Structure 1
Amino acid sequence: MKSLQGVVLFLCSLFPVLTAAQDLPGVQLETVSSEDIVQEVTLNGTVNALRVSGMSAAVAGLLDEVRVETGDRVDRGDVLVELDDELVTWELAAARAEAEEARSRLEEARRRLREARSVGAGRNIAATEVSARESEVAASEATLARLEAARRQVEVRAGRHRVTAPFDGVVSQRSRDLGEWVTPGDQLLTLVDTDNLRLDFQVPQSFYKRIDDNSRLLVQDDQALSSATIDVLVPVNDPQSRTFLLRAIKPESVKLLPGMSVQAVLRVTTGERGLTVSRDAINRYPEGRTTVWIAEPGDEDTWTVSEKRVRLGTGFEGRVEVTSGLEADQQVVVRGNESLSEGISVRIAERESR
């Protein structure tokens, strides 16, 4: 009985200690780490189509048919516009007939030459006659070649009475309508390639030499960031804004249209290492002071906190470089630091690992 009473008394003596520990403020800690320093810059850009074509006819003519409307999606090779081709159709028929006539005359000339050669020059037919028939064959061949070339020219001209899509895309604008007379160079409609989009950003010139294979471009997509591939850096500086053009390929997951504005974050390495902490560890005061709460181990799984003034460098990926005031492997408070005071004891609510 006495031993049972002793156990009960011992447990009761522990209760105030446990209760006191539970009453301590709960915090989360993080270790000050040493890592490569990354510099970030926010960019504002524009979504541009890789191909935008102002479609026009190669020959003059009367608009006979317009097969598309603004907003229509077309495939490469689809007929968009047709010009009145009645006259050129008759020209083509005449050119084909002349070519057929020349082909028949050539066949007849060749037959007459074979006949003369079979008789034998100098015996039953004069040698000059054989030569004349040979010349006739050569002339007929030349005539056929000339008329075939003329026929192909008319065929090409007839084909140019149709305007076809040079690539898959969307008709963004239609400028002409039925019955209008158009000449070469007159814009009939605008075709935009909406499948191959590029994101164009003007980047400060100081970043040009620092962009390498390790640099990352993150495109804002609602509340998330999507990685985009840097396609090209245009090595021409704008003397007014002191920027250069960075062109990136649109991520498949991001829904954008040509002409839309887009925001991105460019991250480049500085080539230096430094101490970093989470942004949540930083306390900022109205007078410009910045501090962190450092935690030192105490007794019974408790920690003692003290506030330390720090100087900050660049920020990146949710972290901030600390240029002075901290040492590597120190523990700093990243959660629960809103109502701490100097020297109080705290307990670990949940330990974050990095």
Structure 2
Amino acid sequence: MRHVRPLVSFAVVAWIACLNASAQTPAPSLELTTAEAAAGTASSAFDGVVEAVHQTVVAAQVPGAVVELDVKVGDRVQAGQTLLRLDARAAEQTATASDAQVRAAQAALDLAAKDLKRQKQLFQKDYISQAAMERAESAYKSAQAQANALLAQAGASRTHSAYHIVRAPFAGVVSEVPVSLGDMAMPGRPLLTLYDPARLRVTAAVPQSVAAQLPARPDVRIELPGLPAADAWRAPANVQVLPTADASTHTVPLRADLPARPEGVAPGMFARLWLPLARSGLAAGVTPVAVPAQAIVRRAELTGLYVLDPQGRPVLRQVRLGRALDGRVEVLSGLAAGERVVTNPQAAARVR
């Protein structure tokens, strides 16, 4: 016991010395990064849908059973590629019969041509009458007309037979295949749907009063909520207000072309068109301001920002947010343009 007490006493003294040293060490200073709240522009959103500029429904032109189906939904095809085949046995037999009739007509035409040549030689020597000569010419012309008619009929038969092979009219993506092997195709029945993924647009219905307020070249933004935030916003390549109106809803179609070959976008997706117009919910003359998204503080039901006061100290202030765009968020109320907000709110929360 006499050897243990000095050791315990020494440990206590060392611990107290450490506490004193730590108390004398100054706390590291917290650096706050700030950004200025910039004035934004008031805008209104209108729900729309993504459409394909070039889309077609390939339908059957002749009746027949589907005997070969070479594509499925989602496949990319090239122009002229075979998509499916219909049973063409009857059409091929008809085309073969037409070709045989053409050969027979051509043989009859050759015979009529040789006979006309002999009749001309005999007529020049006055061995036959003028009437016999005219009958020979008439027989030749009749055989020639018959051969041309059968040749045209054979061409129509071959064209009709080619309708049993359905090919892609342009390069694109197959979006729908409503038939299966063995199904009976009839003229006009849809076989598949094809669209060009390189040319897409967003179409929205806007009220006539809104369309009348739009400038000649409106600053329209496209929002695609189904995509990640980094890819959700696009600038349209072209904006067009169609010169038609819906009599039941009194709206005008507004089209905004997406940039060439948009990635991750497909027809039927939900989209919004943001127009540079004051929207409902904002007081007259009020313009929202925009701040970096990382400056937003969310605590339970509180949404706020750390704003620097005149002395440069961060103060938590409750705000009302609007839409997010390109890494920035609109603040509809609670903040004025020109005020500085803290972009690292966790550091601001530790400042006393």
User: Counterparts of 1:209-248 in structure 2 under 5 Å?
Assistant: 209-220=212-223, 222-223=229-230, 225-238=233-246, 241-248=249-256
Tell me how far 1:147 sits from its aligned partner.
0.7
Secondary structure of the residue aligned to 2:220 is: strand
Letter in 2 for 1:142: A
1:100 corresponds in structure 2 to 103
Shift of 1:29: 7.7
Cα distance in 1, alignment partners of residues 38 and 273 from structure 2 = 29
Long gaps (5+) in structure 1: 1-24, 281-291, 296-301, 304-315, 322-330, 338-354
- CA shift in 2, pair 1:131/1:29, >3 Å: closer
Amino acid aligned to 1:103: Q
Is 1:111 aligned to 2:100, yes or no? no
Question: Does the 8 Å contact 1:78/1:164 carry over to 2?
Answer: yes
Distance 2:200 2:33 in 1: 49
Aligned length: 269
2:268 corresponding residue in structure 1: 259
Output the CA distance in 1 between the equivalents of 2:38 and 2:51: 44
Who is 1:196 aligned against?
A: 199
Which residue is 2:144 aligned to? 141
CA distance in 2 between counterparts of 1:135 and 1:30 reads 96
Structure number having the greater strand percentage: 1
Q: Judging changes above 3 Å, is the alpha-carbon distance between structure 1 residues 320 and 115 closer, same or farther for their aligned structure 2 residues?
A: same
Does the CA-based 8 Å contact 2:203-2:253 persist in structure 1?
Answer: yes
Shift of 1:31: 11
TM-score (norm 2): 0.64
Structure 1 range deviating more: 216-225 or 97-106: 216-225
**CA RMSD across the alignment:** 3.9
Change (3 A) 1:46 1:30: closer
Larger RCO of the pair (alpha carbons < 8 Å, separation 6+): 1
CA distance in 2: counterparts of 1:171 and 1:154, whole angstroms: 30
Aligned residue runs from structure 1 range 67-82, under 5 A: 67-82=70-85
Alpha-carbon deviation of 1:294?
12
Deviation at 1:155, TM superposition (A): 1.0
Percent of paired sites with the same residue: 26
Asked if 1 retains the 8 angstrom alpha-carbon contact of 2:38 and 2:289, the reply is: no
TM superposition shift of 1:240: 5.4
SS at match of 2:115: helix
Residues 121, 130 of structure 1: 8 Å contact kept? no
Corresponding residue of 2:25? none
Instruction: Tell me how far apart the structure 2 counterparts of residues 117 and 174 of structure 1 sit (CA, whole Å).
Output: 65
* Change beyond 3 A, Cα 1:214–1:107: same
| Aligned residue among 151, 166, 174 for 2:169 | 166
Give the distance between the partners of 2:290 and 2:193, measured in 1 at CA.
48
State how far apart, in whole Å, the 1-side matches of 2:175 and 2:186 are. 21
Say which is worse superposed, 207-216 or 230-239, in terms of deviation.
230-239
Distance 1:165 1:73 in 2: 10
Contact 1:217–1:230 under 8 Å retained in 2? no
Unaligned runs of 5+ in 2: 1-31, 279-284, 292-306, 313-324, 343-352
